Amino acid sequence: MKHSQIFVNLPVKDLKRTVDFYTKLGYSFNPQFTDENATCMIVGENLFVMLLVEKFFGSFINKAITDTSKSTEVLTCVSCENKAQVDELVAKARAAGGKVPRQPQDHGFMYSHGYEDLDGHTWELVYMTGAPPAHLNK
């Protein structure tokens, strides 16, 4: 099965504040899918994040929204063009009010770092320099 697009949906407490945060990181938004309840953040070609006000997000689910101060439901991971871009995005996130919960990790074939946005969603940023070592392919 092959899909042509991906839309990750995340609940947010304050849409304007969230849009301001991601704008500072360099992301843009599709105005066709933006109103007082939601916006569509463009992450890449055919890669989108729907940022939904919690009440609106709740209308799509039958469970409680995860309390990101206590648990992590998902790691959203995006690839970067190089190590510098990884570090730049983490620095921008920190400057915009995000948290940086750990130090960068350099595994030789992969460099990673990440941040938590204003709503506690974890974003993992990676730069892959090659294939993982053979012992990881088992």
66-138 and 1-63 share a CATH fold: yes
Give the CATH class of 66-138.
alpha beta
* Burial annotation 107-125 (CB, 10 A radius, 16+ → b, else e): eeebbbbbbbbbbbbbbeb
Q: pLDDT tens digits for 56-71?
A: 999 999 999 999 999 9
In eight-state DSSP terms, residue 99 is B
What is residue 2's predicted lDDT score, i.e. its pLDDT? Answer: 81
In eight-state DSSP terms, residue 102 is S
Q: How confident is the model at residue 135 (pLDDT cuts 50, 70, 90)?
A: low
Q: For the chain, what are the domain ranges? A: 1-63, 66-138
Q: Which CATH superfamily is domain 1-63 in?
A: 2,3-Dihydroxybiphenyl 1,2-Dioxygenase, domain 1 (3.10.180.10)
Question: How many residues belong to the chain?
Answer: 138
Closest listed residue to residue 98, CA positions, set 127, 73, 68: 68
Q: pLDDT tens digits for 69-97?
A: 999 989 999 999 999 999 999 999 999 99
